[in-house]
């Protein structure tokens, strides 16, 4: 999820990973005695599957589908085909059936797709429902196959068919996943903003419990959204992001040689494999999404099964096989840097597991802000609704200024050089410092007819030592010229999957004021979670352009 002087060579990370506990370390690192290493053995088509109409657990999707046909006269493939359901429609169908069965109806009506079109059926009825992760493969399941008896010819035919369809399928799933994740995030937001009524001392415990339940449900949705291929494809294809991690690891193999590395939120395992290839002695890859199962197989297929250990769960809850690690690598960055609150978990892992002289990869981040003057965007995104084919659709503007838009901004619309409003030294920053109000100041570099909004982005830096200091107002492109690894997610750099956060100003009936080149705009930027432990983010900006233009507005990132 994320977005990196020739400096004196930093002190090498300590080789004595476990200091004076060598005998204990040997026990931990004796891979021949670690039964959990069997996890990386290939386990083709053997993921346990809960039945559609019962609590029975079947060894794989084929067995479950067969039982549904024989015991309950229900053919899931046939229904999906007859209703011409796409991937999202199939998800809704499964959740609709499970919700009906849960309510006591073992013969749900599936005669029309209109019965389960509501987005409520995007939310899994079963936590970690393995069937939802198998829907994209149903077309490849031979209907009359006997368990374990598929012929070599059939396998070759299916493989050839899959290769021919792969590109089309990936593009389709990318679009479908975007819709799915949007629906999940909308559902998260609705629950988190649910009106619970006035609090009182007599109901405080119940209210706290309800809030905790909402957070837990939202957290589950968050990890579910990372179980699908499309989001990982998007991140892996972000060359700015992935190349930066690869370049730093491969160009500094001496830092990784014989070290123990922790990969927090490993996803497909790409960063773990970079570290293993660079010579790490042991890499612990942790993820709480079902993607960890695919990561295990990927790691095994690429020959790193004896180096990389995959653990399923939250980093705060899993038990690592070692008491401390030399390096923590993680791609934790969200939109406007802190959306999704994954960095909280990385900080927890740092404080719990990182050796005193250990290395954070990346090591530093900065948040930047700049004023936006983009009349074309305002015309197409805002003014458009006032006259649509001669009709007034202004009601569509309700709430349109309340949310942070994730967009790619044209550099020509950025009306001033950006200002850093927060430095994040990853080795020392605390979670408390991620809720803040910071000052900023920018100077307009051109005349503008109106201040239309603000643009926020972040820069990422990879320094070689935990004691390395980031130069003041560091610019990634300048550091890269000096041999360091860094990247920007700003308008002036190559596009990344994070793009930029665009915060449009809501003027109501108030007309904008033209501003002149050289005018100074001073202000404050505040970041705050929607509520405690929420992954959603509120951003507030106050600004004053020498009295000519003032404002104070809050936006939500959800």
Residues serving a catalytic function are: 331, 340
Burial of 413 (0-12, 13-18, 19+ CB in 10 A): buried
Omega before 78 cis (within 30°)? no
- Choose among 180, 157, 165: nearest CA to 229: 180
How many angstroms separate the CA atoms of 537 and 340, rounded? 8
Cα angle 285, 41, 320 (rounded to 5 degrees) comes to 30
- Could you write out the DSSP letters of every residue in 152-216? HHHHHHHHHHHHHHHHHHHHHHHHHHHHHHHHHHHHHHHHHT-------TTTHHHHHHHHHHHHH
How many angstroms separate the CA atoms of 72 and 78, rounded? 14
How many angstroms separate the CA atoms of 218 and 216, rounded? 5
Phi/psi for 119 (5° steps) reads -65, -10
Cα angle 380, 237, 335 (rounded to 5 degrees) comes to 50
Residues shown for the chain: 558
How many angstroms separate the CA atoms of 330 and 285, rounded? 10
Burial of 493 (0-12, 13-18, 19+ CB in 10 A): middle
Phi/psi for 171 (5° steps) reads -65, -40
Q: What tokens appear for 162 in the block? A: 């899959």
How many angstroms separate the CA atoms of 509 and 378, rounded? 15
């Amino acid at each position: 999820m994320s977005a990196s002087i020739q400096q004196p060579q930093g002190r090498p990370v300590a080789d004595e990973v476990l200091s004076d506990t060598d005998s204990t370390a040997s026990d931990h690192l004796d891979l021949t005695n670690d039964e959990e290493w069997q996890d990386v053995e290939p386990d083709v088509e053997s993921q346990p599957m809960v039945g559609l109409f019962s609590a029975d657990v079947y060894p794989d999707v084929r067995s479950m589908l067969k039982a549904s046909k024989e015991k309950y006269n229900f053919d899931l493939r046939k229904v999906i085909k007859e209703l011409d359901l796409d991937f999202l429609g199939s998800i809704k169908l499964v959740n609709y059936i499970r919700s009906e069965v849960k309510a006591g109806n073992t013969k749900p009506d599936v005669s029309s797709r209109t019965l389960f079109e509501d987005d409520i059926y995007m939310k899994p009825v079963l936590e970690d429902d393995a069937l939802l992760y198998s829907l994209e493969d149903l077309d490849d399941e031979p209907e009359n196959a006997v368990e374990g008896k598929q012929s070599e010819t059939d396998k070759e035919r299916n493989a050839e068919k899959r290769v021919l369809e792969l590109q089309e399928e990936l593009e389709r799933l990318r679009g479908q996943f975007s819709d799915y994740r949007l629906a999940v995030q909308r559902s998260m937001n609705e629950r988190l903003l649910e009106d619970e009524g006035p609090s009182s001392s007599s109901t405080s415990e119940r209210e706290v419990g309800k809030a905790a339940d909402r957070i837990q449900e939202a957290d589950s949705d968050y990890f579910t959204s990372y179980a699908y291929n499309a989001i990982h494809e998007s991140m892996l294809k972000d060359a700015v992001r992935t190349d930066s991690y690869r370049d730093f690891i491969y160009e500094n193999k001496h830092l990784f040689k014989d070290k123990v590395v922790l990969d927090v939120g490993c996803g497909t395992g790409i960063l773990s494999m970079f570290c293993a290839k660079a010579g790490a002695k042991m890499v612990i890859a942790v993820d709480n999404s079902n993607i960890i199962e695919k990561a295990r197989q990927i790691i095994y297929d690429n020959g790193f099964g004896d180096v990389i250990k995959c653990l399923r769960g939250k980093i705060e809850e899993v038990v690592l096989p070692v008491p401390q690690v030399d390096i923590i690598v993680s791609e934790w960055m969200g939109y406007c840097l802190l959306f999704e609150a994954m960095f909280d978990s990385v900080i927890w892992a740092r404080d719990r597991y990182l050796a005193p002289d250990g290395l954070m990869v990346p090591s530093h981040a900065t948040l930047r802000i700049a004023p936006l003057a983009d009349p074309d965007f305002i015309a197409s995104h805002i003014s458009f609704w006032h006259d649509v084919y001669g009709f007034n659709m202004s009601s569509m503007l309700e709430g349109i200024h309340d949310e942070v838009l994730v967009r790619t901004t044209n550099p020509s619309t950025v009306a001033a050089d950006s200002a850093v409003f927060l430095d994040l030294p990853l080795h020392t920053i605390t979670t408390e410092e991620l809720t803040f109000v910071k000052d900023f100041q920018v100077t307009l570099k051109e005349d503008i007819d109106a201040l239309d909004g603000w643009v926020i982005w972040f820069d990422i830096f990879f320094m070689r030592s935990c004691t390395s200091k980031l130069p003041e107002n560091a610019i990634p492109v300048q550091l890269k010229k000096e041999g360091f690894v860094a990247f920007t997610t700003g308008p002036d750099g190559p596009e990344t999957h994070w793009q930029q956060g665009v915060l449009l100003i809501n003027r109501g009936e108030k007309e904008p004021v033209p501003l002149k080149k050289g005018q100074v705009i001073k202000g404050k930027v505040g970041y705050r979670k929607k509520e405690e432990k929420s992954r959603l983010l509120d951003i507030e900006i106050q600004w004053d352009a020498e009295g000519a233009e003032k404002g104070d507005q809050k936006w939500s990132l959800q």
